[in-house]
Amino acid sequence: MTGKKKPKNKKKQNKPHGHFCKVCGERKSNESFSGKGHAAHICKKCAALPVDSRNEQTTLRKIENMAFRHLSETEIKWLRKKMNDPLPEIRETAREAHNIKFSRYERNMIKKGLTAFALELFMRGEVWNEWGDEVNVHMLVSIDNTGVIKRTDYDAPEGERETTITIDTKEARAFLKSVIHEDDALFWDEDLSDVDGYDPYDEDVDDDMSDEPKEPIENREPLWSLCLDLNNGNEKKITFYNQMHDAPQELFWSIMEWFEPDDEFYDFETDEMDE
C-alpha cells in the first residue's frame, strides 16, 4: 500500500535569503560573507572591525537575544556576570535584558533579609470595606514588632481618639515581614500612580486637566501615607495626595481586624459613625 502523495500545487516554504551576522545582528546577502565568515556568522564589514569592537558587538547581540528565550543555568550566570561588566554599554544592556527576563529578581535581592520593625499608616478619605461599603476614615494606625498596635481616630471626640492593644510578638513580626515580602509595600511609590486631578475612568474629566492653581503639596494633608521602619536602619516614607489605592486600604483593614468588634470605630449595622 503506497502512501498519500502530496498535492502538486502545495508550495514549498522558502527559506529566508541570505545569512545572519552575529556581530551586527543583521541578515545580509550571501555575497556579504566570505567563505570563513559564512561559517563563523560574521559578515565582511564586521570582520574588518577591530577585534575588541567586534567582540563587544557580538556580546551585545547575545545579551539582547537572551531577554526573549529560555536560558540555561550557565547562561543565567553568564548574564548576571555581565551586569557588572566594566564596559558601560554591555553592563546596561545586560541589566535591561535581565530585568525583562527576571522582572522580580532585583526586587527580591533588595528584599532579601529585609523586614520592618514598625509601620505607620495614615488614611484620610473614603475607603471600601469588605462588604463593599464606603467608610469615611481619618485615622493613623501603627504596629511594631513588640506587638503593640495603636489607633488614632481624628474624628472621635477628644479623650477617646487613642486606642492601644497588644498582640503576640511572633504574629506581629510575621505580619510586618509579610508587608515587605508579600504586599511589596516597599515599592508602592513606584507601582502606584498619583496623577494630580486625573481619573482615567471619569468621562467628564478633560484630558488636558484644569489649569487652575492648586494648593502646594506641602500645605496639603495626604490621602494616605505609609512609613516603614526597616531593620537595615533605613526608613521608607510613601505619600500620596491625589488617589486612594486598593493596596493601602487592604493593609488598613488587615490591621483593624485585630481590634475587637465592639471596639470598632464604625457601626456597620446602622451605617453611621460612632458618636
14 compared with 101, residue with greater pLDDT: 101
* Per-residue pLDDT band at 273 (split at 50, 70, 90): very low
What is the per-residue pLDDT for 51?
86
Residue 234: count of CB within 10 angstroms of its CB: 9
* Per-residue pLDDT band at 17 (split at 50, 70, 90): low
**What does the DSSP assignment read for 113-150?**
T--EEEEEEEEEEEEE-TTS-EEEEEEEEEEETTSEEE
With respect to residue 206, please indicate whether it lies within any of the assigned structural domains. Answer: no
Residue 210 pLDDT greater than 50, yes or no: no
> Same domain, yes or no, for 176 and 261?
yes
Sign of CA dihedral 100, 101, 106, 112: positive
Looking at 44, 77, 109, the residue that finishes a domain is: 109
Tens digit of pLDDT for each residue in 214-241? 555 556 789 999 999 999 999 999 999 9
Owning domain of residue 66: 19-109
pLDDT above 90: percentage of residues in the chain: 45
20 compared with 69, residue with greater pLDDT: 69
> Same domain, yes or no, for 149 and 234?
yes
> Same domain, yes or no, for 85 and 153?
no
What is the per-residue pLDDT for 2?
53
Pairing of strands 116-128, 134-144: antiparallel
Looking at 109, 124, 158, the residue that finishes a domain is: 109
Residue 19 pLDDT greater than 80, yes or no: no
Domains identified in the chain, total number: 2
6 compared with 46, residue with greater pLDDT: 46
> Same domain, yes or no, for 25 and 86?
yes
Number of H helices, E strands in the chain: 9, 10
What is the per-residue pLDDT for 217?
56
> Same domain, yes or no, for 90 and 134?
no
* Per-residue pLDDT band at 57 (split at 50, 70, 90): confident
Give the SS3 label for residue 226: strand
Looking at 109, 132, 158, the residue that finishes a domain is: 109
* Per-residue pLDDT band at 9 (split at 50, 70, 90): low
> Same domain, yes or no, for 27 and 59?
yes
Tens digit of pLDDT for each residue in 138-172? 999 999 999 999 999 999 998 889 999 999 999 99
> Same domain, yes or no, for 105 and 122?
no
Tens digit of pLDDT for each residue in 60-107? 988 988 888 888 999 999 999 999 999 999 999 999 998 888 877 878
Residue 199 pLDDT greater than 50, yes or no: no
* Per-residue pLDDT band at 8 (split at 50, 70, 90): low
Mean pLDDT of the chain: 81
**What burial class does residue 21 get, using C-beta atoms within 10 Å of its C-beta: 0-12 exposed, 13-18 middle, 19+ buried?**
buried
